[in-house]
Chain A
Amino acid sequence: MQDMRRCAPRWLGRVPYAEASQLQQRLVAEVAGGSGEHLLLLEHPHVITLGRNAKPVHVLAGEAARQARGVAIYPTGRGGDVTYHGPGQLVGYPILNLRPDRCDVRRYVRDLEEVLIRTAGDFGVTAGRIDGLTGVWVGREKLAAIGVRLSRWITSHGFAFNVTTDLSYFNLIVPCGIAEYGVTSLARLTGRDVTVAEVAWRAAARFGEVFEREMAPASEEAA
């Protein structure tokens, strides 16, 4: 346990997608330059994002329906297909340098899943994986989605964990192109009104555990 790498978790509240993207880009450059790692925790206003592999048909909503519900649309550089973010959903963007000991894409995704499975466990929900699909699932319903980007082993994008998400917004899309599976949320599974921030801190703790990072806020840092 000597000399654990430090990772600064930050709860940012509600951040527009574009703003969070820019912040990530900046931090990726910083981490590439050798500075400390980050775990950004936040929620987005309603937005549909298209991964690099997104199929436009997976955005089912007609333009009118989408706009009527105030949902923006945004292409991104992460892996994966289409997804929805919105209030009540915990979004986590780890900006880590996977070098030297964690240079394995599959392991990274599995580790993120592990963080979220343990986090769900903290709220009494037994979640797991489905072979061949990424994300964290309860039965055949998706509790959390994962979409990641690597640039020279520096990570960006990350996970989206439904806490009190209004799941009807997922009807606007085929989440991650997987039509036959549903989505769920922590609130729906537990019947409790948990706050996103509360889950964020649990997730940060679990993140440190799985990734063997000391989760210490970087005090001198300008947000």
Chain B
Amino acid sequence: MSVDVIMPQMGESIAEGTITKWLKKAGDTVKRDEPLFEISTDKVDAEIPSPSAGVLAEILVEEGKTVGINTVVARIAAEGTAVAAAKAETKSEVKAETKTEAKPEARAAVKPAAPAAAPQPSSVAAGGTPSREELRRTRSSPLVRKIAAEHGIDISGIEGTGISGRVTRQDIMAHVERGAGAPAARTPAAAAPIPSIFKPGESTRVEPMSAIRKKIAEHMVMSRRTSAHVTTFFEVDLTNISKLRERHKANFEAREGIKLTYLPFIAKAAIEAIRRRPIINASVDGDNIVYKKDVHLGIAVALDWGLIVPVVKKADEKNILGLARAITDLGERARTKKLSPDDVTGGTFTITNPGSFGGLVGTPIINQPQVAILGVGVIEKRPIVIDDAIAIRTMCYLALSFDHRIIDGADADRYMADVKQVLQTAAFGDLGV
């Protein structure tokens, strides 16, 4: 016998509710009236008690999902009823995680902070006693699993020293330090050492690559191998932006303590245009195209010791002020080495700025698993022809490298035309300044 748990009606005119949090996991024992889950309707959060005592047999609606009232969201089995012990949650989490190695996207989805990729009840398959390997994989802390995913390590292969063989943070860090799971070890190129073509001493100096250099090298080559790179170039007149910036620059710097550069405007335009062409913000996953709702904007930052791409999360929800702050903050933290792993993962689109060193235009390499990257050339005054007269305007070349596997030239050029249009009309509304 099982009891259905339904989405309650929280008000007369309210037809649906969003499950924000499950307070119990499948397999947990619940008492009648014990808080079972939390929902949110109309900005009000409410805790919903269990309608009966028993064991939470199945969770049918994941956290983050919105369903109509009276929808069955879970089933509670009467006490004593056998329930397949294997927990839906941990099972599917493992499944997702084994796929993550090459895909930071998917990794973001299994972080406990983002419970969106939650249990599919269908995976509550076989019961039985989990093996020791299985236990290590499923019972290790999220932190350990995250480290494992980052380094491409299979936890089940590590001898754990924790409770019932769990792999502790120390265990995995020791494993990583031994180099067993260093990312470079996974690439076929690194597997067989290439005989050196240079001999030291012959007017050459041999220096081992730093870890970050190796990572960049690997990432760049991997991207070239993965995507069918094509680059398109547009010339954009930034005179209007330049005026807008002049108007607000002093005030902005005085009030916010940061410089108002061109970059937030270009970022805003790139995001606006993504709204119209969501394919630019997609990824390739096997034979599927994955469209992403949010724009997490990577900003390439050149460092003395390499290159890093911190990510402005949910950049599409920010105005110019918010973007300027976020970009400045990430840039500063990149230079002072204060970025957290979270700051550099999950990007959906990237902007790089070779123009800051005078580059007219570049052909950037796509930051995998993204499908497009915008390169901004130097911004300078140039003579151009307007209505058969020569005018002095603030100009810039923009380059978009895109993945021709899923983006055709026409899409890319339409996207760039949109970016150009937003920038040239400088229609940013409220700058937030």
Contact = CB atoms under 8 A, between A and B. Distances in A.
B191 interface: no
A208 B225 CA distance: 69
Contacts of B43: 51, 53, 79-80, 109, 134, 146-148, 176
A61 B432 CA distance: 14
A59 to B, nearest CB: 10
A104 B44 contact: no
B317 A177 contact: yes
B45 A149 contact: yes
Contact of A151 (B46, B319, B326, B432): B46
Given A58-B317, A179-B319, A150 B20 contact: no
B317 A57 contact: yes
B200 interface: no
Interface residues of A, number: 35
B36 to A, nearest CB: 11
A105 B49 contact: no
A114 to B, nearest CB: 15
Nearest to A155: B44
B318 interface: yes
Nearest to A78: B45
Contacts of B229: none
A107 B43 CA distance: 12
B12 A151 contact: no
Contacts of A80: 43
A108 interface: yes
Given A106-B14, A148-B44, 18 more contacts: A57-B313, A78-B45, A79-B42, A105-B11, A105-B14, A105-B42, A105-B44, A106-B41, A107-B11, A107-B12, A148-B45, A149-B46, A150-B44, A151-B35, A152-B47, A174-B322, A179-B430, A180-B430
28 contacts: A52-B20, A52-B21, A53-B20, A53-B43, A55-B317, A57-B312, A57-B314, A57-B317, A57-B318, A57-B322, A57-B326, A60-B321, A60-B322, A78-B45, A79-B43, A104-B12, A105-B11, A105-B41, A105-B46, A106-B41, A108-B44, A109-B42, A134-B42, A146-B43, A147-B43, A149-B45, A176-B43, A180-B430
User: What 10 A-B pairs come out closest when comparing CB atoms?
Assistant: A104-B11, A150-B46, A79-B45, A105-B10, A106-B11, A105-B11, A151-B47, A79-B43, A79-B44, A148-B44
